[in-house]
Amino acid sequence: MAAPLGSALTKIGTRFCCRLRRFKTLSSIQCIPSSSISHLCIDRHYCLQHSTPDFIKNQRNFSSLHKDRKCWKCGSPTDEEKELFFCNCGVVQSVPEDLTYFKVMNCEEKFDIDTNSLSRLYKDLQRKLHPDKYSQRSKEELALAEQQSAFVNRAYNTLLKPLTRGQYLLEIHGDPIDESTSAVNPNFLMEIMEFNEDIAEAVGNKDAVGQLDNINSSRMEKCVEEVSKAFAADDVPKAKECLIKLKYFTNIDDKIKDIFRKHMDQ
């Protein structure tokens, strides 16, 4: 039987006080604050402007929103599929504000995507939209190329990694991770604290850090599998629970990489 919550929290508090000098901050293992949502989702404008249920409904009906979309240069109607980035007249078009990252990167709106195809499309789009190609064009078209290129870059970086892709899907489902919903099981938090202590003690020992890296990598892989299954089953709460854990493991992964870079790559 699981220990009572109060007892678990007391143990955590006692253990934390004993290690306060070593862990001056718990930034790497804290629950995710609402202030970090803009960074987790990559696109602050999207998170602030497009998290309402009405928008989520509208973005799923994207094809019906742009039938009257016209080229800013020639005035001709533009097909939202074939002329998303360029009008047939050749000029760059503006980015529709309600365009999802999945749509712009030609992906299905799901967690499991082909990242190889994503990368190929990204490189192709950046070649076509790079602002340097439009330095001799009008200021208007150069500005639009910069806008499109930046949007494609944000979309790619969000969808490329499991954590940010999953968080973005939570945004679309209207259930983002914020301060009030990011609490985790106290026992899990205890495990994270102990693992961070193990890492601190292993600094300088390449083999020990490598073993901890392998353990954390395995946990991340398992967590990603659980997120995938949850989204496939349309179990958003479960996916959210797993993504919160994945955030902790990702923080540990970043810490280990930083240790290798600072202490072992010399």
What are the tens digits of pLDDT across the range 182-205?
678 899 999 999 999 999 999 989
Distance (Å) of CA 77 to CA 100, 108, 220:
21, 26, 47
Burial of 36 (0-12, 13-18, 19+ CB in 10 A): middle
A 10 A CB-CB count for 159 gives: 24
Domain boundary among 141, 172, 203: 172
Whether 7 shows a pLDDT value over 80: the answer reads no
Residue with tokens 């047939």: 88
> What is the domain range of residue 59?
38-172
* 47 and 149 in a common domain: yes
Structure tokens given for 104: 């712009």
Indicate the residue among 144, 172, 200 that finishes a domain.
172
Q: What is the pLDDT of residues 234-248, one digit of tens each?
A: 999 999 999 999 999
What is the rounded CA–CA span in Å between residue 249 and residue 161?
14
* Statement to judge: residues 83 and 157 lie in one domain: yes
Nearest to 59 by CA among 90, 6, 97, 27: 97
Residue 265 reports pLDDT greater than 80:
no
Q: Do 113 and 73 sit in the same domain of this protein? A: yes
Which residues 6+ apart lie within 8 Å of 250 measured at CB? 163, 220
Both 194 and 106 in one domain: the answer is: no
Burial class (CB within 10 angstroms; exposed 0-12, middle 13-18, buried 19+) of 182: buried
Looking at 121, 142, 172, which one is the last position of a domain? 172
Quick check: 242 and 222 in contact, CB under 8 A? no
If pLDDT is split at 50, 70 and 90, which confidence band does 181 have? low
72 in a structural domain: yes
- Which stretches does DSSP call E strand in the chain? none
| Number of Cβ atoms within 10 Å of the Cβ of 242 | 22
15-19, long-range: CB within 8 Å, 24+ apart, which pairs? 15/190, 15/193, 16/193, 19/193, 19/197
When pLDDT is cut at 50, 70 and 90, the band that residue 130 belongs to is very high
* Whether residue 74 is found in the same domain as residue 146: yes
Phi and psi at 70, nearest 5°, equal -125, 150
pLDDT band at 24 (very low <50, low <70, confident <90, very high): very low
Q: Which residues does residue 70 pair with via DSSP β-bridges, in sequence order?
A: 77
The answer to whether residue 13 sits within a structural domain is no
Tell me the pLDDT of the chain averaged across its residues. 78
The answer to whether 119 touches 160, Cβ cutoff 8 Å, is yes
* Number of domains, the chain: 2
